[in-house]
């Protein structure tokens, strides 16, 4: 299975490198590929089987996907370690008017105090199967890009259904590893009763906030503890007070001595998306068109929400996590833009592509088969550039504007739920619909009509400014974009005065309607989205057609690139289970600067202004000033380590991943990357790609000396 990856480069590894000179390496290795790695030479004290095995208990039994994050079991009773920012919503939900647990921190001294984290699930990878041949069989002879897309989607759904029938209790997913070429089926255990156990106050767990986000040196205690529960018989079950703690097959051992500069570390987890195999046209499109648009639109949203929240504390609280999310992406994209510019990534890619084009042109047969691949990809992006802004604005209309987004879910639900299950969009399949409804309900929680109206008006402004050829007549007409702005404002005011879609009961009712029933709905938001249905349908078709064409072209390009370079590649991250390794090491983020890989209490004391986000609790400051760090002192820095830096290859989704030493013991908790490493999604490089974790010793120190959570420490074997 999967022998295609990780081939020639291994030989190089074994031939030239000695242990001491082994560098950190690019690569989020699919878990099924690590048995090809020379682990011993890389300094590992454990085998591939110790890390992942379908037949034996391995470290992987302790690794979970938790929402969009990673987590790991660290006790026999299902205690899970993940990031503070991954548990953010649960902490917010647990809060009451009397107790803001984001501000105070949350401690369940007893299990009965553990708070059900609604919407959280825990997923453990059980098996992986190569299903490439079945998937590709489905598109053999199909030429139309749209039909190909649909055929692949359908086949993947069938494979899932089939696998789940064969393995009752497990959940299946098919993931595309290489576009149009390799597909894996993953079988997962899902646990649905997850509870919040411990979270430090935000002034520790999110110390430095947006200012320090994506930055090193860092001083954030970004961790939290949760616990997975199952039915008394051990089977996965929804929350019930009768449930019992889950007993994982494996939980991680804590390396109390932590890790020091130069130590080998590795990371297991679920990295989200990377785009390293894309061509220069894609990168150019991102650099010139997509990312600047997102940065602009997100900044507009942030400004607007800040302004609205300025003198309204209650409102500001509602916007907090939304702004946090927007700012996180905005800064990430700025980092990427800087990286592409500084590293001349587009020119680099183009130069490589030129040599491949020359290689292709040297052989008539090759020229015939591959000569048009790159020009075709280029021309797709050239065309896309012209209309992309319109398409995105349309997309954000149903994404950033809650009332319209909910109405769109209602309209889609009515339509999709009529179809046979396998033909529906994923969100509306029986296996997902309950979750879709829950997410819709959760969206209501922070709804603010004023913000919603302002965002809608701003999107309409931008739509109005589009060239005539890109105007969407139905939008222009519905919002009177050809008339005075006052008129548009009036229409919006009326819409929000009349719609009931943001009322939970109404929303839930609407989500059960048939298309015929919806037609008679008087709700103006629903009416609007019904009217825009053809517009969105056309948009979807355009997108599918484009990605169908690109998928096929990218597969061909990868094939010829492989042939030319005579090497195999590691597939881009796609949310599936991966392993990456590196060292605890510093770097030079810019000329004349060297960043050490371990931070110390000095940094917290230096940064602390007493004002958020630099307002560590007084009790913690006092402890840090006392400098009685006992067993947690690093032997290289002589003081308590706070955060650590290492040269692994990570991306979003690796939040909450355990950082493990050569023996597979826990030395840290991954939570971020450096600003320079935001470019990881497009290109990894040993010089600047660094990830950031909480040092396990700071975590233990916080639990013991700050939180006095002795019981939890005991459970963790500390």
Active-site positions read 85, 222, 655
> Closest approach of Cβ 350 to a second copy, in Å?
18
- List, in sequence order, every residue forming a beta bridge with 244; answer none if it has no partner: 230
* Phi, psi for 126 (deg, rounded to 5): -105, -50
Taking the CA atoms of 60, 63, 65 and 68 in sequence, report the sign of the dihedral they define: negative
Q: Are 685 and 348 in contact (CB under 8 A)?
A: no
> Closest approach of Cβ 319 to a second copy, in Å?
25
* Phi, psi for 258 (deg, rounded to 5): 65, -155
**Distance (Å, whole) CA 512 – CA 77:** 39
For residue 676, give the nearest of 575, 577, 593, 582 by alpha carbon: 593
Closer residue to a second copy, CB minimum distance, 514 or 588: 588
Closer residue to a second copy, CB minimum distance, 219 or 673: 219
Q: Which stretch binds a second copy (CB under 8 A): 190-198, 200-208, 321-329, 604-612?
A: 604-612
**Distance (Å, whole) CA 314 – CA 317:** 5
Q: Which stretch binds a second copy (CB under 8 A): 226-234, 385-393, 399-407, 599-607?
A: 599-607
> Closest approach of Cβ 688 to a second copy, in Å?
11
386 binding a second copy? (CB under 8 A): no
Closer residue to a second copy, CB minimum distance, 20 or 609: 609
Closer residue to a second copy, CB minimum distance, 78 or 613: 613
The pair of three-digit structure tokens given for residue 501, joined into one six-digit string = 């879609």
φ/ψ bin of 391: left (φ > 0), alpha (ψ from -120 to 50), beta (otherwise): alpha
> Closest approach of Cβ 342 to a second copy, in Å?
6
> Closest approach of Cβ 604 to a second copy, in Å?
8
**Distance (Å, whole) CA 72 – CA 60:** 9
Closer residue to a second copy, CB minimum distance, 520 or 611: 611
> Closest approach of Cβ 25 to a second copy, in Å?
24
For residue 554, give the nearest of 178, 184, 182 by alpha carbon: 178
**Distance (Å, whole) CA 529 – CA 540:** 15
**Distance (Å, whole) CA 635 – CA 391:** 56
Q: How many CB atoms lie within 10 A of CB 295?
A: 18
Q: Which stretch binds a second copy (CB under 8 A): 72-80, 162-170, 511-519, 600-608?
A: 600-608
The pair of three-digit structure tokens given for residue 267, joined into one six-digit string = 């990371």
> Closest approach of Cβ 212 to a second copy, in Å?
12
Residues of this chain, 556-595, that bind a second copy according to CB under 8 A: 586, 590-595
Q: Which stretch binds a second copy (CB under 8 A): 32-40, 52-60, 356-364, 597-605?
A: 597-605
Closer residue to a second copy, CB minimum distance, 258 or 571: 258
Q: Are 108 and 196 in contact (CB under 8 A)?
A: yes
**Distance (Å, whole) CA 255 – CA 664:** 9
603 binding a second copy? (CB under 8 A): yes
CA-to-CA dists, residue 229 to 95, 166, 171, 401, 716, angstroms:
21, 25, 18, 36, 17
Closer residue to a second copy, CB minimum distance, 342 or 399: 342
Closer residue to a second copy, CB minimum distance, 120 or 216: 216
180 binding a second copy? (CB under 8 A): no
The pair of three-digit structure tokens given for residue 490, joined into one six-digit string = 């009036």
Per DSSP, the residues of 23-85 read: PP----EEGGGGGGS-TTTTT-SS-HHHH--SSS--GGGGEEEETTEEEEE-STT-EEEE-TT
> Closest approach of Cβ 204 to a second copy, in Å?
16
Residues of this chain, 327-366, that bind a second copy according to CB under 8 A: 341-342
> Closest approach of Cβ 693 to a second copy, in Å?
14
Residues 6+ apart with CB under 8 A from 190: 121, 122, 123, 171, 236
Taking the CA atoms of 79, 85, 87 and 93 in sequence, report the sign of the dihedral they define: positive
The single residue among 86, 377, 532, 598 that binds a second copy, judged by CB under 8 A, is 598
3-class DSSP state of 472: coil
Closer residue to a second copy, CB minimum distance, 322 or 596: 596
Per DSSP, the residues of 180-193 read: TTEEEEEEEEEE-E
Per DSSP, the residues of 205-258 read: HTTTHHHHTT-SS------EEEEEEE-TTS---S--TT-EE---S--PPB-TT-
Residues 6+ apart with CB under 8 A from 471: 463, 481
The single residue among 596, 704, 711, 718 that binds a second copy, judged by CB under 8 A, is 596
CA dihedral of residues 670, 676, 677, 681 (deg, nearest 10): 140
Q: Are 267 and 580 in contact (CB under 8 A)?
A: yes
> Closest approach of Cβ 223 to a second copy, in Å?
19
303 binding a second copy? (CB under 8 A): no
Q: Which stretch binds a second copy (CB under 8 A): 228-236, 451-459, 522-530, 601-609?
A: 601-609
600 binding a second copy? (CB under 8 A): yes
> Closest approach of Cβ 207 to a second copy, in Å?
13
Closer residue to a second copy, CB minimum distance, 418 or 588: 588
**Distance (Å, whole) CA 636 – CA 626:** 20
Cα 120 to the center of its chain, rounded Å: 15
Residues 6+ apart with CB under 8 A from 138: 151, 152, 154, 155
Residues of this chain, 190-249, that bind a second copy according to CB under 8 A: 216-217, 219
Closer residue to a second copy, CB minimum distance, 342 or 435: 342
Cα 59 to the center of its chain, rounded Å: 22
How many chain residues interact with a second copy (CB under 8 A)? 22
Closer residue to a second copy, CB minimum distance, 364 or 592: 592
> Closest approach of Cβ 593 to a second copy, in Å?
6
Sole residue written with tokens 């401690």: 107
Residues that bind a second copy (CB under 8 A): 216-217, 219, 341-342, 586, 590-600, 602-603, 606-607, 609
């Amino acid at each position: 299975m999967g022998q295609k990856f990780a081939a020639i480069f291994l030989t190089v590894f074994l031939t030239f490198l000695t242990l001491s000179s082994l560098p950190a390496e690019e690569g989020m290795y699919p878990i099924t590929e690590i048995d090809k790695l020379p682990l011993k030479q890389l300094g590992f004290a454990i085998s591939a089987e110790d890390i992942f095995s379908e037949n034996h208990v391995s470290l992987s039994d302790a690794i979970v996907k938790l929402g969009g994050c990673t987590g790991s079991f660290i006790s026999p009773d299902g205690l899970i370690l993940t990031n503070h920012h991954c548990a953010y919503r649960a902490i917010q939900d647990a809060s009451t008017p009397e107790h803001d647990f984001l501000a105070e921190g949350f401690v369940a001294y007893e299990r009965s105090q553990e708070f059900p984290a609604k919407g959280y699930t825990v997923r453990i990878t059980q098996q992986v199967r190569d299903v490439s041949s079945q998937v590709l069989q489905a598109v053999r002879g199909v030429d139309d890009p749209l039909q190909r897309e649909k055929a692949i989607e359908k086949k993947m759904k069938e494979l899932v259904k089939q696998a789940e029938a064969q393995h009752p209790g497990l959940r299946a997913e098919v993931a595309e590893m290489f576009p149009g070429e390799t597909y894996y089926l993953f079988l997962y255990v899902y646990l649905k009763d997850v509870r919040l156990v411990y979270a430090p106050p935000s002034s520790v767990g999110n110390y430095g906030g947006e200012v320090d986000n994506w930055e090193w040196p860092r001083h954030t205690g970004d961790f939290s503890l949760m616990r997975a529960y199952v039915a008394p018989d051990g089977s996965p079950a929804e929350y019930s007070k009768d449930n019992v703690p889950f007993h994982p097959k494996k939980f991680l051992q804590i390396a109390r001595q932590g890790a020091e500069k130069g130590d080998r570390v590795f990371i297991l987890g679920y990295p989200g998306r990377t785009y390293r195999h894309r061509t220069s046209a894609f990168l150019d499109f991102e650099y010139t068109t997509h990312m600047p648009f997102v940065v602009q639109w997100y900044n507009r949203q942030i400004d607007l929400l800040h302004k609205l929240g300025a003198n309204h504390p209650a409102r500001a609280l509602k916007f907090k996590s939304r702004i946090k999310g927007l700012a996180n992406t905005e800064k990430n994209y700025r980092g990427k833009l800087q990286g592409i510019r500084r590293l001349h990534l587009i020119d680099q890619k183009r130069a490589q592509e030129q040599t491949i084009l020359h290689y292709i042109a040297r052989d008539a047969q090759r020229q015939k088969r591959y000569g048009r691949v790159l020009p075709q990809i280029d021309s797709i992006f050239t065309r896309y550039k012209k209309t992309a802004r319109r398409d995105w604005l349309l997309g954000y209309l149903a994404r950033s504007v809650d009332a319209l987004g909910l109405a769109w879910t209602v309209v889609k639900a009515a339509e999709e739920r009529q179809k046979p299950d396998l033909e529906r969009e994923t969100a509306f399949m029986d296996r997902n619909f309950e979750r879709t409804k829950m997410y819709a309900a959760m969206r209501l929680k922070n709804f603010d009509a004023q913000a919603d109206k302002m965002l809608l008006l701003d999107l309409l402004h931008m739509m109005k400014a589009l060239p005539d050829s890109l105007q969407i007549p139905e939008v222009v007409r519905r919002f009177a974009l050809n008339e005075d702005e006052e008129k548009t404002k009036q229409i919006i005011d009326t819409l929000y005065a009349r719609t009931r879609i943001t009322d939970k009961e109404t929303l839930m009712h609407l989500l059960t309607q048939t298309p015929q029933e919806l037609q008679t709905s008087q709700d103006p938001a629903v009416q609007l989205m019904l009217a825009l249905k053809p517009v969105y349908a056309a948009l979807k078709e355009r997108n599918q057609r484009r990605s169908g064409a690109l998928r096929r072209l990218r597969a061909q390009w990868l094939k010829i690139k492989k042939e030319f370079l005579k090497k195999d590649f590691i597939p881009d991250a796609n949310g599936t289970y991966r392993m990456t390794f590196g060292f605890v090491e510093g770097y030079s983020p810019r000329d004349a600067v060297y960043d050490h890989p371990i931070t110390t209490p000095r940094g917290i004391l230096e940064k602390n202004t007493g004002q958020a986000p630099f307002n560590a609790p007084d009790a913690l400051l006092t402890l840090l000033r006392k400098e009685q760090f006992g067993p947690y002192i690093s032997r290289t820095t002589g003081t308590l380590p706070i955060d650590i830096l290492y040269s692994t290859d990570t991306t979003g989704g690796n939040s909450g991943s355990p950082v493990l030493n050569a023996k597979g013991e826990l030395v840290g908790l991954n939570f971020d990357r450096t600003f320079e490493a935001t470019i990881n999604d497009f290109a990894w490089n040993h010089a600047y790609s660094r990830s950031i974790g909480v040092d396990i010793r700071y975590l233990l120190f916080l639990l013991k000396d700050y939180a006095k959570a002795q019981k939890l420490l005991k459970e963790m074997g500390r």
